Every structure is written in structure tokens, then in C-alpha cells.
Structure 1
Amino acid sequence: MRISYLLPAWSRVELLGARPGRLAAFALLLLLWLAGLVPARAQGKAAVRGTVATGPGPVVEFATVTLHRAADSVVVKTEFSDEKGSFRLEGAPGGRYVVSAAQVGLRRAWSAPFALAPAGIALPALVLEVSQATALKEVTVTARKPLFEHQADRTVVNVADSPLSAGATALDVLNRAPGVTTETGVALRGRQGVLLVVDGKRVPLSGAELADYLRALPAEQLQSIELITNPPAQYDAQGGAGVIAINLKKDQRLGTNGSANVSYGRGEYGKFTTGLALNHRRKNTNFYGTYTYANRNDFVRQEFYRQYGAAAGLPAVNSTVTGKRVLNLHSHSARLGADVNLSKRTLAGVSLTGLFSETTTNNDTRTQFTDELGGPAGRYQSLAAQGINRPNGSANLNLRHVFADSAAAASLTADADYARYSTTRSLDLYTNYEEPALPTSLLTGDQRNDLSIGALKLDYSRPLPYRSRLEMGLKSTRVVSGNVALFFNNGTYQPNISNNFDYYENVNAAYAAVRGGSASTRFQAGLRAEQATIRTTLAGEEMREQQYLQWFPTASVQRTLNARHALALTAGRRVDRPNYGQLNPLRAYVDAVSYRSGNPYLVAQTSYNVDLTHTYRQKFIAALTYAHTHLPIITTVQPAPDGGRQVVNRDVNLSTQQYLALTLTAPLEPAKWWTLYANGVFYYSRFQGELAGTVLDRQQPACQLSANNTFSLPHGWTAELNGTFQSGEIWGFEQGRPREQVLVGFQRSFWAKQATLRLNVADVFYTAPGRFTSVYTGFSESFLQRQDTRVATAAFTYRFGSSKVAAARKRMAGAEDELRRAASQ
């Protein structure tokens, strides 16, 4: 169904092929229409009100109240009763419904079927009775969240109970999330430039450092992943493609309890993970701690084919580089924290996290040069041994105060964060020259990076008339990085590649946003201002200083057309500032002919994003996205500027990127024992710019397809089958070949559901290896990369201690979730 058919006849426009000015006019027109300022034929909603109680006893707060269709009991809407036991649900007038109410330890109660009048309806009180099945024994929570949840502004992937997460890393789990890829940097729906936050804290890393950080974070610590493609003004403007929020586990059971886990996976090499989590929760306090150890062995096999044109007196040659890098990773991750209810309305918390990883790599590379006729022009072997230590730590203090005993009351949230990331890298690079025969050379390197990030944040929220709400906030972030690199060739100091680099960034932000609406329409509009100062220093001399103030407007409108159809439109402006790693010009060698270096002359990229989403039957989703990015940052590979046949990998700015995507999501239930979540992203990218005498104007359609199947099997087993496919795509000068992956997992709980066994196999058919090609004037490179991705894993988890949950659940857990979400904003 074409979206234009839903608009008044005078407002229909063709989306594809429209010019940017027409697209902007269409977006403004649709915003006005969705907000109700332009006439439409949409049908409003009516309210269903009532209370939940326990007979003559007290009201039931935070009971789950659900509105069902009377004909087939299909769920229409779910809410919680407030502290007075009251609830309010909305449905389409004229429909026939029933309402149910449930609470742990109590029997579900149902209303009589009723027809919903346009003026709404007030139901008799729903009375919950004590369940005889639980009256004489403890209440055990056995509910399991669905793997995927769609909320108004995000998709949530609940990975904690997935059998495919057993023994995996955060990088593995992230790569399986719908629309996310990690092969050439973290990308969301085919776009790079993502703000990554872990438990509400920004991770100021990119590229290989970010991949190493996520690889050292075990998946056993993950609770969920949130994918937000067009965040509101409360979030940092960083991240043109959106925000990926990784939430860590926190036990919500009362009393003293915990869990222990162990897993072992085997591909070509072994992968071992074990951990322990403890939690002590009382009415007004909660103390928790986790520790995980991982010992993972991996490999990377790479094949490069490069063509060099004649330049600077050097003849045209071709080269073939083959190598295998073996990696051993030891990581220790820990977290300690406490949450205290200072009063009925005030919650305070403190948390400490640490992640220490030690990686040793041995890279054996053979390089063969041939001339234009195929004759030998050089041959040598390089052996690179590296040791990389990354001790990271962070601390957080938070406070939340609610000014009245109401879920809609004004609130104030304060956060103070400090994090420190350190990296030390040692290098011993031997090069044995076989043709022509030359003495063996030894390049040794000693590099150190210290990165600190501090942030202070204050958020205030209060209700406004007409069911609306005002949100305001301030935030100040300071990032300081010091980098030192010392290189010696056969014991002789190399001043041309040794140096020190310092980076300073300060971002001060303020925002204001208003949200509200009616029964059929919800809106949010916000404005964020960020003043940034970025300063880089090389060898004690200032290279560059940037100071600028930028404004980031955001707006969203959600309109329910009728019981089956709903539309939502979001628009916003975002920015991607290059971080210290992308600006740092110091070298990090991979082998004798390849190194990574930053570009100190990078500038920020800015993007304008528009999303139009249609929801059918509250489950099938189609989203159309358009984005225009100015000065996009892309990764390139080029011959090194100091001559020779070395190549350097670095980031540069192009002129523009245009992006258009259609995302389709379908949660299905082919059978009672089978659920299927299908997701497809069909996108088109066009890059324009120039680099090293090569003019770029390249476009290509591409797609990402994923299907996640969950099966309920006999004897308590569940199974999960996941398949992903990435078509060929472009990213600037780089073009990737298609790749796919199939994963299968099994899971069973036993010992009164205190123990869980998980078995899985990743990349069953070994189809994940990536192939990429880059072509420039006078230089081209094609490479194939294989890793130890086909892995069979067995994992065991045991939960111990109390499993009781209070019958009337208090709000501490909800407040903790709000604090975590506020911290990421």
C-alpha cells in the first residue's frame, strides 16, 4: 500500500525522485497533518477506566492490566495500575473488548465483554483473589521476555535468555542484532557513525579499539540491546546513524541471590568464559557485584592483492600479501554497585566498573612483489609479535528525586561520571628479506595511550497541562587523551615515526523538549545546543583548534489512524565528531607493509535524518528513512605518504552521502511452538568526493536480511535458529561482497529452573568471511579476511538464593531502569 493513499488528495506527493526541497515540504506537511492541524479522516480513541483491588482488602498497585479483543482475546494494549490501583487503557470506539488484570501470586481477573462507546467507559472494580497454587509456597518468577520488542522510538533485543549468546562476546551479539553489522565498523541499517553506550555510559572508542573493547566484554553480562535510529533531544547529538545502548544485567529478585556460569567453545581454537554474580536486595537497598573471566584464542587469515601505479620514480608493481595472525585474549571484567532509597521519593546509586584485557598476537606475513610482466620484484617475510594491555575503569554517582507521589510528578535526575581507558602496546617486528637478500631488520615499538572522560549531567522533567510534559537538561563532558609512540630500527631511534600527541575535547550542552498529545496523537519536539572545543597537539605544538556552537532540532509525531493502522514521523539533525583515535597521527603497525594512522585534519560530519513509519495491527512495521550527510567520514587505504610500498589505513572526509532505506519488520507465529522475527533493510547509498586525484561518485542499492526462529521443543527444550544475509554494498571507495551466516542454539532449564544448559553453533556453514575491494587512481586493493567464527559452544548457568518477588512489586526496579536510560541521554 502506497503511503500517499493515506493522505488527503491535495497533499499526495511522490516520495522517490523528489528533490530535497520537496522532501522537506512533504515532511513539514505530514508533521502538520499527523499533529491534527490539517484535516484527516482518522478515527480517535476512547478510554477504558477502572481499578484493581483484592476484594475488601487494599487496592493492587502495579498490576498488569490488559485490553483484549472480545472475539479472540488478542492483546490490544497493556498498562500498569498506579499506586491507587487505577488504570486507563485506550481502544477504538465501537469495538468489543474485555479487560484482564494480573499480579504475581494472585489469580487473573476478567471483566465482562463490553462495547466501547466514543465517550469511553468506567468498569466495575476488577477483584484479584489469592492463587491457591501459590498461597502456601514461595512465588517463583518463570516469565520470559520476548527476544525482540518494539517500542515507540526503539527496538529492544533481550539477549539475556537467548541460547545463541552463550559463550559469545558483546561484539558477536551486536553483530546478530537486526540491522547491525560490525565487519568494517559498527553500522546500523547500513550507516556508520553510531553512538555506543554501555549501561548508560558513552564509549569514546572507534575502529579496532572499539572492536577489541567489545570483544573483551562477555555476552554473559548483557541484559539487552536498544537500537534507536532517530533519538530525541535528551540524547547526545553524537551519532548520525543513531544510538546503540547495551544494558548490563542486574538481578531484580529480593533477598540474597546470585548466579554462576561457565562456557567453553571450540572452533580452530578454544574459548573459555566463567563468571559469578551476587545481589542483595531489600526494601530500600540493593547491593550487587559481578565478575567475569575470559580466555579466548582466535585467528585472522588475510589475503591482499595490491596494484601500485608508477609514482615518484618507482615502477608499477603488483603485490600479494598472505598472513595469519593468532590472538590470545585474557580479560577480567567486574562491576560493583549499590542503590539506596534515601526516602520514599529519592533514589541514590553508585557503581564502579572495570575491564582489563591482555592480548598477545603473533602475525606471520609473506609478501611477494611482481613487475608488470609478472616477473619477481621482491620477496620477504615479516613476523610481528605484539602485546596489548587495556586496563579500563569507570565510576558513576546518580540521584533521582520525585517531587510528589504520582507517576506523572516532576522529577530531577543528576549524574556524575568518570572513566579512564589506557592502552599500552609493545611491538617486535622482524623482516627477513629473501629477494633481494638483505640483513634482517627489527622494528621495536613502545606505545602508550591514556584517555579520561568526565561528565556531569542534570535532567529535570515536569508535567504540563493537557497531558503534556516538559523536559530540560544540562550536560558537560570533558575528554583528555595523551599518546606517546617510540620506535627503534635495529636499536636506532626513529624520530620520523616517533612522537607524542595530545587531544582535548569539551562539549557543553543544553536541551529542552516538550511531549504530549491526545488519545490518537502523540508528539515530541525538542532543541539541543552543543558548544564544542577540540584541540590537538603534536610534539608539544598546537596543530589545530576547533570551536563551534551547533543546534540540533528534533521532532516526532505518532498518529493512530484506526484499530489497524498507525503512522509516525521523526526528524532530526545529528553530528559525528572525530574522536582521539581518528585524529591521532601516530602509527600502529600491523605488519611490515601496513599500518593504521589517524588524520589530524578530520572535521565533524553532520546529517539530517527523516523517518516515516507505518504500523499495521500493532506488529507489522514498514519504515522509510532518508538521510543527507555533509562531509561524511570514511575509512580509506592508500600508499603511505613517505614513499615506498607501505600502505596506510586512515579516515578522511568526503563531500556528501545520501541514504534512502526501507525497513520491513514482521513478527510471526507460524505455529504455537514456532515464532519467527523477520527483518529486512533495503537501502541505497550515494557517496561523492575526491581523494588522491580520484573523483568519487558511486551509488549502489543493498540489503540486509535476518530471520530469527524460536522453537518450543518437547521435554522442556527450546531452540533458536538465526540466519543473516548482507548483500554487496559500498562505503565510500570500498566495496564489499555478499556474506551470510547461520547460527543454531538449544537451551533447557532443570533443577526447578535454577540451572540452564545452552548449546550452540555459530557460522554453521562458515560463510561469514568478508571480501572487500578499494579502487583509486594509481592504486587498488582487494582483500579476503577469515576468522575463527565457526564455533561450537556449551554453557552452563546455575542460579542460587532466594527467588521470591513481593506480591505488590515496589518501584525500585523501575526507578533503576529510568536512571540507566537517563544516564545515556
Structure 2
Amino acid sequence: MPNFSPTRLYFIFICCIALAGRPLASAGQSGPAVSGTVADSAGVPVEFATVTLHRATDSVVVKAEFTGAQGTFRLAAAGGRYRVSVAQVGFRHRWSPVFELTAAGLTLAPLVLAHSASTALKEVSVTAARPLYEHLADRTVLHVENSPLAAGATTLDLLGRAPGVTVDAGDNLGLRGRQGLLVLLDGKRLALTGTELGDLLRALPAEQVSTIELITNPPASYDAQGAAGVIAITLKKDQRLGTNGSLNAAYGRGEYGKFTGGGALNYRQKKFNAFGNYAYTDRRGFTRVDIERQFAPAGGPGSSSMQANDLVNHLQSHAYKAGVDYNFSARTLVGVAASGLANQLRSTNQNQTSQYDDAGALASRYHSVITQDVHRPNATLNANLRHTFADSAGAATLSADADYARYDTRRLTGLATAYDQPSGAPGLLAGNQQSTLYIESVKADYTRPLPHRVRLEAGAKTTRVRSDNDVAFDRTQNGVTARDLAISGAFRYDENVNAAYGILRRAGARTALQAGLRAEQTNTLGRSANGADRFERHYFQLFPSISVEHTLSEQHALSLALGRRIERPNYSQVNPLRVYIDPTSYGAGNPTLLPATSYNAELTHTFRQKFSTSLSYSRTDRPIVIQVQPAPDGNLLVVSRNVNLAVQHNYALTFTAPLTLAPWWTFYGNAVLYYARFVGGPAGGPPVNRRPAFTFTGSNTFALPGGWAGELNANFETGETFGYERLKYRGQVTAGVQKSLWAKQATLRLTVADIFYTTPVRSTQTYANFSETFFQRQDMRVATLAFTYRFGRTTVAGARKRAAGAEDELRRAAGQ
């Protein structure tokens, strides 16, 4: 497998910068463009207004730009019929007439903006506000930056309220009834799943999040990882000129207290931008779980157990990001950034377990105290380049990224058990787990317009992941402590993925076509220190994707998306080392786990450019699911691990309706009806599980007089099935209000989450000879008061925004 260090990564990146300085033969070429000026009713030029170019047939956004100092703008595009819209705070939205853009270009008549009457009356102007939810052809975008419900919340809380997203008791994320998602943070993959990913998202304050994108059929520019799609989380960035910043603090109270505080500072000039932010989180909470297990051997009744867990946890985290961007010229931008998230989670679990024989008589009873002290210091480094090969906004561009990330886990576990019946000597199991995950990647992306309204996108990426794991367990019995060699050991996992892709996009008068192909070559190697578990796999796969959008009329449009994706097991899913949960439960990886591949199809009808109905089908071969089974150790001990089933079929019908119920009241509704069918267990056999399910998310936003705004969010999930697990219905209602103060320099927010406390999880896993039912409650009903203060200039930067390679990749993928 390739072995390249961070030093070599940055050497390659510097080479990309050098190559970017070489002009192409076609650098001076540019396509047709529409230009014009924007002014107010008095003829004064309007600077920094947002000018957006739309296709005339369906109003799809082609590109957007800010006006210059004299109110001028220029938007290059392929020939065709278009409209231009202009928006600026304090003015009414303005649309141009439909025009034909020819090869000679076009200059529009001056666009005059009328002042907004609502602004003059110091009321809330809803025309200038971006909606919280935006439904695009291939994704749903949550603009959570100004949401009252983000106050004091975590990023995992935001995802739990997102349309079509589910979070189970093990913090596994699902989208439209499917698990196996690629989660990106500022364009970078988070190579974590389950509780590890959940803990990271809990430690990341929602205050730092700008948008969340839910992408069901990603284009080929994205990694093929994530059979069910992509969740892309983007953090806030300040685009104002000069020196600007903000301070924020929030305190919430459920059964325990929760505090979040931090700030951001940004300094921006024409060529230089320096930025940084920091957030501190101190959250206490509880998790109470009741578990009932039935051990029934074939042909007769079996033993059973019941246990109660009362866990109190304390999370402290420090999240930071700092970086610099520099424009060497009007066409070349280079940036570096460093970010990190260091968190410590301490927990104490009071456990009581009763075990019964096959006649139902009490066989034993004991109680335990399980303590965990988990440190997770994580850090990432990024260097990025963006270069344009012409002065035209529609010219060819090159972006490159070099990334290095390190995720550390230090887990100290103490499991003290005292036996009540029959009496026995107390025991202690102490564990010391150390894990380090390294991720290194280099990528380059190139885009350029071609004749006949065609756009080419191409790129290459190489990624290396290395995971070093070591765990030592010591048992103390009758005052004697000894290393338990049977469950101690070391495991290392290496993964290398080399990828290349190409995409052709064509936007016609009524039809838009996108065809892409991604090739990925994968090399994995896992081995235990004792040689008991070793595997090595090498494979090459192609991932085609295609989407077609066709406008039938002004009222109706259809789109079809097809694609193939993969779900590779990550290091924790194949790591055989144990993590103890309680005296009778532990988690472990499965070294025999194989990657899952999926084929996805989605047909969408859009009515009046906003109401959409989608019908989708996916077939996943070797889906990866959680299996809870009696452990080989016996004595009513169970192990939770991932296994491959044979096939998963998933059918989904999705309906999305954004409504303006009043000038001050908007509603966004999303309903998903899906049916999941799982076939064949790890050793083949009959269908595992099947069941229809339904999820609904309704979000209401209110623009109120006097600088007040409100939000009311409700979601509901019927019982769903995933693999062997069946979850019962659940949901939540969350409400919040916010008030703008001091000429909108400050914001005060009050939020109450899970008002009716309907988020507890009830779940059952059923097998031929074993079943487990559990009921989990957490500290989710929380009232939070938050305050944010912004200082500095209010002027937004013009045409130059920060454009790191990975972030630009996301915008290109969205067709922006």
C-alpha cells in the first residue's frame, strides 16, 4: 500500500500551486455574458446587491454575483433564455424581463430597486430572509445559521430534527429509512460511525453550523462512500469587510445544566483574510436504559435477564478553527486552515441485573458501577488553492486541497461488580483503550465550459487512513490483579483509496443533463498483534451516475437520478477489540465484514417550482447492520457487532411542500413513506425483517413585529425496521423565539426542546434463539436562553469569497 507522509502531501500540494500558474492555451477565451447596473429610486448605485441568473424555463439558479462599487455586475453563461433577480436588504426583490443571451452578449437596462416599506416601518422584512429549508433537485439544504432552535443545541440535535433523518439509540444516522451515510464537515469526511460519530456531533455546538445538506443522489465529484447518501455540514464564515466578530453564550436546563459559549473574529481586506473561532461546551445529562433479554435455545424455554442502567454523564469540549486566505492575484487564492475538537466525556452508570432460570426463578442478582473517562482530542489541517484561467466568471477553474487529520481516543473503563444473590467476592475489570486515527488526502478538481452549453468537471483524489488500536484489561479478584490476555491486544487497520472522476453537464432550454463516472481503487489491510485476525482486500470499482431534469410546462417538471455507491466498513466496525458497556454487554468489530454496494434510482415531479413528489428505489447488496447475539463467552453475556445481510430493498415516497400561509408565516413540510425489506442473515436463510414506516417533519417560521421571530418544529416517526431491529414510534415538538436588539447587533433567543418528552427510544431485536428489548431515556427536554453579540463593520465582501477546494466542490456539485 502507498505510504505517504504529511510532508509528502504538502509537497504535492505546492506542485499543484506551481502548475496553476501556467496559463492554458484557451485562458483568454470567454463565453457570452449579461451585464448591467443596479441603482435605487434616486439613481444611487447599490453596492453588494445579490444578482442571480436564472433559467427562464424553470427559474433554476445558474450563478450569482455581488454588484461592484458602481452597482455593476457581469454574469457569463452559455447562450439561452434567462431572467435576472436582484436582492438587497432594505429593498424589494426585483426581477428583469426574460431575455435571450446570444454569443455577442447583452447589456440590460438599469435595474432600479424600490425601498422596502417594511424596513421603513422598522418591521421584519421577510423578502430579504433566506428560508430555513431549501429543496433543490438533488438535495435539501437546512439554513440553520439564523434558526432560533439552534440556541444551545448540538449538531446532533439539529440532525435529529432534519427532514427524513433518523437517529437510533446507538447514534446511527439514517436517511429515508437507510443507514450508511457519508458525513462531511466543511467538505472533509468524518471517518466515524455510531457512538463515536454521535459523541463528536454532540460536542460540536449548533451555534457554529451554517448549513446542513441532505443529498440522496450525490454526483460523481463526491466520494462514492455512503450507500444511503451524504450529509454535508458547513460551519459559519464571516464575509464582512474589515474587522468583525461575535460573542455568544447559552445556558440550558433539563434535569441537568448545559452551557455553551464562544466567539469568532475575522479580519478581511481585498487580498487578505484571517479568521478564527472558538467554542466551549459544558453539558451534563443522563441516560436511563431498561433491558430485558430472553435466551431461548431451540426446542424449549430458556433463561432470561432484566437490568436497569442509570447513567450520568458530563461532556466538556473545546472546538476551534483558524486560518488565512490570500489572493495572489484576481485569479489565484491560496488558504490554510487548522481546526480541532477536543472533548472529554466522563460517565458513571449504576447498573442492577437480575438473571432467571428456564423456570422463571431468580438465579442471581448483582449490581455494578461502570465508570468511563473518554478523551478525544481531534485536529485537522488544510491547505487549499483556487485558480481561474481567465477573467470571465464562466472560465476554467482549478482547485486543490491537501488535508491531514488526527483523531485520538483515550478511554479508561472501570467495572466494579458486587454479587447480592448468591453472595460472592466482588470483582473489578479495568480497561485502558488507546486509539489513533490518521487521515491524509490530496485532491484536485478542474472545471471548464465547453461549446453547446456543456460544462466539464474532472478531478482526482488519493486518501490514506491508518488506525492504531491498543486495549489492556486487568481483572481484580480476591485482592489479586492480573492482565486478562484473552480480551487484551492490539489491532491496526490501513486503507488507501485512489479515485478519479469526470462529469459532463448540459443545460438546454427545457432539459438539463448530468452524466458522471467515478473510479475508485481500494486497498485495505487489517491485522491483530497476535495474528488471530488478519485480512487484506484489493478491489477496483466504477460508480456511474446520471441525472436528467426536464421542464414539461411552467407548472410541471420531472427529474430522474440513477447512481451506484458503496459502504466500506470503517476501522471501528472491523476492529475485534472490545468496548464494555455494562457487566453483560460489550461491543466489538467484525474482521470478516465486507463492503456493501447499492444501486439507487429516484424519480421526482415538481409542481409550480416548489411542491415536489419523489419515488425512489434502492437495492443494497451485503448491507451492514447491527447484530446483538449471545457472546461466545457464555454466562448470559451478549456482544453487539456489525454483520452483512444478503440484500436490502428500500422503497420510498417523499413529498415536500413549502407554503406561505401568511406574509409573516411560512411552513415547510416533509413526509416520507418507506418500506424496507431485508433478505438473508449472515449465513443466508429466510428474510430477516420487513416493515413500512412513515416520518413527518413540519417547520413553522414566524416573522413578527418589533424585531421578534419564532420557530416551531415538530417531527414524528412511526415504528421502523432496520435489519434485526424494530423501533417503536417517537417524535418531538420544539419551539423557540428570538429578538433582535441594538440595530440587529445582538440577538436574544429562548428555546424549549422536546416539549412533551416524546423522544425516548423503545426497540426490540429478535432472533431465532434470542431477543432483546430496551427502553432508553435521555435528558432531551431542555429550556435554553442564548445571547449573541456581533461587532464590526456590516459591509459584506464583494466578489471574492473564501473558496477552499472542498467547499467549492460542494457548491459545484449543487450546480451553483
Confirm or deny a common fold (TM above 0.5): yes
Q: Which residue of 2 aligns with 1:126?
A: 110
Q: Residues of 1 paired with 2:475 and 2:131: CA distance?
A: 57
Question: Which amino acid in structure 1 is aligned with residue 109 of structure 2?
Answer: A
The one-letter amino acid of 2:509's match is A
Aligned: 1:347 with 2:333 = yes
Match of residue 641, structure 1, among 629, 632, 643: 632
Q: What secondary structure does 2:159 align onto?
A: helix
Shift of 1:149: 1.2
Q: Which position in structure 1 is the counterpart of 2:217?
A: 230
2:535 is the counterpart of 1:544:
yes
Q: Give the structure 2 partner of residue 662 of structure 1.
A: 653
Q: Partner of 1:496 in structure 2?
A: 486
Q: Which residue of 1 aligns with 2:287?
A: 300
What's the counterpart of residue 188 of structure 2?
Answer: 201
CA RMSD of aligned residues (A): 3.3
Aligned residue number for residue 407 of structure 2 = 421
Identify the range of structure 1 (594-603 vs 315-324) with the bigger mean alpha-carbon deviation.
Answer: 315-324
1:823 Cα deviation after fit:
10
Residue 528 (structure 1) aligned with residue 528 (structure 2): no
Partner of 1:653: 644
CA distance in 2, matches of 1:537, 1:369: 37
Q: Deviation per CA, 1:381-422: give whole Å up to 9, x if none.
A: 011111000000000000010000112111111100000000
Q: CA offset at residue 545 of structure 1?
A: 0.2
> What whole-Å deviation, never above 9, does each CA across 1:411-460 have from its counterpart, x for those lacking one?
11110000000001111110111111110000011110011000000111
Residue of structure 1 equivalent to 2:676: 685
**Is 1:468–2:468 an aligned residue pair?**
no
How much does 1:154 deviate?
A: 1.6
Question: Is the 8 Å Cα contact of residues 79 and 453 (structure 2) preserved in structure 1?
Answer: no
Deviations 1:53-104 (A, max 9, x none): 66999998975258899xxxx98978646987356999999xxx99764557
Map 1:380-419; keep pairs closer than 5 Å.
380-419=366-405
Deviation at 1:691, TM superposition (A): 4.5
Task: Provide Cα deviations, 1:716-763, integer angstroms capped at 9, x if missing partner.
Answer: 211111100000111111111000100010111111111100001111
Structure-2 change in CA distance of 1:283 and 1:437 (3 Å)? same
**What is the aligned length?**
762
Q: What does the per-residue CA deviation read over 1:328-377, in whole Å, with 9 as the maximum and x for residues that have no partner?
A: 00100110011111111011111100110011110111001122332111
| TM, length-normalised to structure 2 | 0.88
Name the counterpart of 2:20.
Answer: none
The CA deviation string for residues 256-291 of structure 1, in whole angstroms up to 9 with x for no partner, is 010000000000110011001000011111110001
The amino acid of 2:218's aligned partner reads P
The one-letter code sitting in structure 1 at the alignment partner of 2:217 is: N
Cα-to-partner distance string for 1:210-240 (whole Å, 9 max, x where unaligned): 1111111111110110111000111100001
8 Å CA contact 1:51, 1:87 repeated in 2: no
Q: Corresponding residue for 1:36? A: none
- CA contact under 8 A between 1:308 and 1:317: conserved in structure 2? yes
Q: What letter is aligned with 2:167?
A: T
Q: Is contact 1:431–1:441 with CA below 8 Å preserved after alignment? A: yes
Asked if 1 retains the 8 angstrom alpha-carbon contact of 2:37 and 2:45, the reply is no
- Which of the numbers 607, 621, 624 marks the counterpart of 1:616? 607
The unaligned stretches of length 5 or more in structure 1 are 1-46, 134-139
2:25 equivalent in structure 1: none
Distance 1:716 1:575 in 2: 48
In structure 2, the CA distance between the partners of 1:604 and 1:77, relative to structure 1 (3 Å rule), is: closer
Out of 237, 242, 248, the position equivalent to 1:250 is: 237
> How far 1:598 moved relative to its partner?
0.6
Structure 2 counterpart of 1:85: 73
**Change beyond 3 A, Cα 1:56–1:673:** closer
Match of 1:145 in 2: 130
Mapped pair 1:268 → 2:255: yes
Q: Is the CA contact (8 Å cut-off) linking 2:764 and 2:771 kept in structure 1?
A: yes
Q: 2:775 aligns with which of 775, 784, 788?
A: 784
User: Aligned partners of 1:399 and 1:518: how far apart in 2?
Assistant: 31
**Contact 1:694/1:776 (<8 A) preserved:** no
Q: Tell me the amino acid that sits aligned with residue 434 of structure 1.
A: D
Q: Secondary structure at the match of 1:581?
A: helix
Shift of 1:150: 2.0
1:182 aligns with 2:167: yes
Q: Secondary structure at the match of 1:600?
A: coil
1:757/1:58 CA distance change after superposition, 3 Å: closer
Q: Does residue 1:191 correspond to 2:178, yes or no?
A: yes
Q: Judging changes above 3 Å, is the alpha-carbon distance between structure 1 residues 524 and 569 closer, same or farther for their aligned structure 2 residues?
A: same
- CA distance 1:818–1:481, change in 2 (3 Å): closer
* CA distance, structure 2, for counterparts of residue 805 and residue 196 of structure 1: 30
Q: Secondary structure at the match of 1:211?
A: helix
Letter in 2 for 1:387: D
* Equivalent residue letter for 2:316: H
* Counterpart Cα distance in 1 of 2:241 and 2:413: 50
Q: What is the CA–CA distance in structure 1 between the aligned matches of 2:583 and 2:36, rounded to whole Å? A: 73
Unaligned runs of 5+ in 2: 1-31, 118-123
Which one of 445, 459, 465 corresponds to residue 431 of structure 2?
445
Q: 1:765 to 1:646 in 2, by over 3 A?
A: same
Secondary structure class of the residue paired with 1:85:
strand
TM-superposed deviation, 1:318: 1.2
Question: Structure 1: how far apart are the matches of 2:125 and 2:702?
Answer: 21
Partner of 1:564: 555
Distance in 2 between the 1:817 and 1:648 partners? 39
| 2:342 corresponds to which of 356, 362, 378 | 356
1:388–1:424: 8 Å Cα contact kept in structure 2? yes
Which position in structure 1 is the counterpart of 2:228?
241
Q: SS of 1:644's equivalent?
A: coil
Counterpart of 2:157 in structure 1 is 172
Does the Cα contact within 8 Å between 1:621 and 1:666 map onto a contact in 2? yes
Give, in angstroms, the shift of residue 603 of structure 1: 0.3
Matches within 5 A, 1:453-464: 453-464=439-450
Q: Distance in 1 between matches of 2:214 and 2:789?
A: 30
Q: For residues 692 and 195 of structure 1, what CA distance do their matches in structure 2 show? A: 28
Find out whether 1:477 has 2:477 as its counterpart. Answer: no
* Distance in structure 2 (CA, Å) of the matches to 1:449 and 1:344: 44
**Distance in 2, Cα, partners of 1:760 & 1:692:** 49
1:495-554 deviation digits (Å, cap 9, x = unpaired): 100010000000000111111131111111111110001100111536110000001001
Secondary structure of the 2:359 match is coil
Q: CA offsets per residue over residues 243-262 of structure 1, 9 Å max, x none?
A: 10000011111110100000
Please tell me whether the aligned partners of residues 263 and 796 of structure 1 are also in contact (alpha carbons under 8 angstroms). Answer: yes
Instruction: In structure 1, give the amino acid aligned to 2:435.
Output: N
In the alignment, the residues of structure 2 paired with residue 222 and residue 167 of structure 1 have an alpha-carbon distance, to the nearest angstrom, of 12
Q: Report the Cα distance in structure 1 between the residues aligned to 2:99 and 2:639, rounded to whole angstroms.
A: 70
For 2:21, the equivalent position in structure 1 comes to: none
Q: What secondary structure, in the 3-state scheme, does the structure 2 residue paired with 1:812 have?
A: coil
Contact 2:342 2:376 in 1 (8 A): yes
- Cα distance change on mapping 1:295 and 1:103 into 2, 3 Å: closer
Indicate if the aligned counterparts of 1:582 and 1:599 stay in contact, CA closer than 8 A.
yes
621-630 or 84-93, larger mean C-alpha shift: 84-93
User: Partners of 2:425 and 2:356 in 1: how far apart?
Assistant: 21
Q: How far apart are residue 464 of structure 1 and its match?
A: 1.1
Could you say which residue in structure 2 is the equivalent of 1:13? none
Distance 1:762 1:82 in 2: 38
Partners of 2:227 and 2:598 within 8 A in 1: yes
The answer on whether the counterparts of 1:685 and 1:730 sit within 8 Å (CA) in structure 2 is yes
State the distance in 2 between where 1:175 and 1:496 align.
39
Change (3 A) 1:338 1:121: closer
Instruction: Answer whether contact 1:92 1:563 (CA < 8 A) is retained.
Output: no
Identity of aligned residues (%): 50
Tell me, in whole angstroms, the C-alpha distance in 1 between the residues paired with 2:785 and 2:556.
Answer: 44
Pick aligned residue for 1:589 from 570, 580, 588: 580
Q: Which amino acid aligns with 2:149?
A: L
Deviation at 1:493, TM superposition (A): 0.8
Deviates more, 1:115-124 or 1:234-243: 115-124
> 1:815 and 1:544 mapped to 2: Cα distance?
37
